[in-house]
Amino acid sequence: MVTEAEGGQIAIQGVSRTFGDGGAEVVALSRVELDVRPGEFVSLIGPSGCGKSTLLRLVAGLDRPTAGELRLDGEPIEGPHYSRGLVFQDPTLFPWKTIWSNVATGLEARGVLKERRGDVDKIIELVGLRDFERAYPHQLSGGMAQRAALARALVNHPKVLLLDEPLGALDAFTRMNLQDELLRIWQERGTTMIFVTHDIDEAVYLSDRVVIMTPRPARIKEIVTVDLPRPRVRNGAGFFEYRSRILESLQLVPETAQPEYIV
């Protein structure tokens, strides 16, 4: 569900990021151009160390580009803001706070918790943690902790959710389950999603578009629009076609190889 009225358009224009001063310089990103539509689900995929997290940190406003510009709904991104939520692979919850208090952190920091307590309850319900709001992080499974981290970002009603391999540490079953949860939340809230993953199936299952990046310095190699109806079928023929196209683009299979499932 695209809710353009609420915004969430990201423009990444000629963005480069170089690390190091003088000595050994690392060019992490080189002239990256990408427009993400309001409410779109975009995945970034590419070799380790190519600059995906760097790009996400720039959109989050946690880092500044060496060259180029990043904008949210036309406004330059100049620092972190609750309208751009970030979820990492490691849920990084505060161990001394209950799940409810962890989720409430952002509202508390903004001084709006008193009038928005109901939002915390609603979001905890949305991610399926209602029975665990008084639990502490060490009492949760990995999947539940990641739900809590998602809730902590969502409670701020971000226009954009930036997800850096958020499901990477989970077992396959929990992971698929949370992919479905994420899609449900996305469809309900219309939040723009930028999702970093190493998992090609995950990218095809979730995304409107998959952005394939080159090894460092990262540039955009190809953007694949996943034109499959939702809900998607993980073992459908169309799904496998996209999967092999992305594998080829990442040069993980020879381009001439015929997939075995085509007879």
Ligand X SMILES: Nc1ncnc2c1ncn2[C@@H]1O[C@H](COP(=O)(O)OP(=O)(O)OP(=O)(O)O)[C@@H](O)[C@H]1O
> Which pairing describes strands 41-45 and 192-196: parallel, antiparallel, or unpaired?
parallel
- How far apart, in whole angstroms, are the C-alpha atoms of residue 124 and residue 201? 28
Contact between 59 and ligand X per CB under 6 A: no
Cα distances (angstroms) measured from residue 23 to each of 29, 213, 218: 18, 26, 20
- How far apart, in whole angstroms, are the C-alpha atoms of residue 11 and residue 34? 6
Q: What are phi and psi of 61, to 5 degrees?
A: 85, 15
The region of 50-58, 98-106, 126-134, 248-256 touching ligand X under the rule CB under 6 A is: 50-58
Shortest distance in whole angstroms from residue 40 CB to ligand X: 21
Shortest distance in whole angstroms from residue 261 CB to Mg ion: 31
∠ CA(153), CA(182), CA(128), 5° rounding? 75
Count residues contacting ligand X (CB under 6 A)?
Answer: 11
53 or 102: whose CB is closer to Mg ion? 53
Bridge partners (DSSP) of residue 16 are 67
∠ CA(118), CA(123), CA(129), 5° rounding? 115
Kindly identify the residues of this chain, within the stretch 195-234, that bind ligand X according to CB under 6 A.
216
Which member of 8, 38, 39, 51 binds ligand X (CB under 6 A)?
51
The region of 48-56, 132-140, 177-185, 250-258 touching ligand X under the rule CB under 6 A is: 48-56
The region of 8-16, 51-59, 105-113, 202-210 touching ligand X under the rule CB under 6 A is: 51-59
Q: Which does 211 bind (CB under 5 to 8 A by kind): ligand X, Mg ion, none?
A: none
Give yes or no for a contact between 158 and 110, defined as CB atoms under 8 angstroms apart. no
Shortest distance in whole angstroms from residue 51 CB to Mg ion: 8
Length of the chain: 263
Cα distances (angstroms) measured from residue 139 to each of 123, 144, 178, 219, 228: 19, 9, 19, 41, 39
Shortest distance in whole angstroms from residue 169 CB to ligand X: 12
Q: Which does 51 bind (CB under 5 to 8 A by kind): ligand X, Mg ion, none?
A: ligand X
Which member of 6, 19, 128, 157 binds ligand X (CB under 6 A)?
19
Contact between 53 and Mg ion per CB under 5 A: yes
Contact between 167 and ligand X per CB under 6 A: no
> Which residues form the interface with ligand X (CB under 6 A)?
19, 26, 28, 48-54, 216
> Which residues form the interface with Mg ion (CB under 5 A)?
53
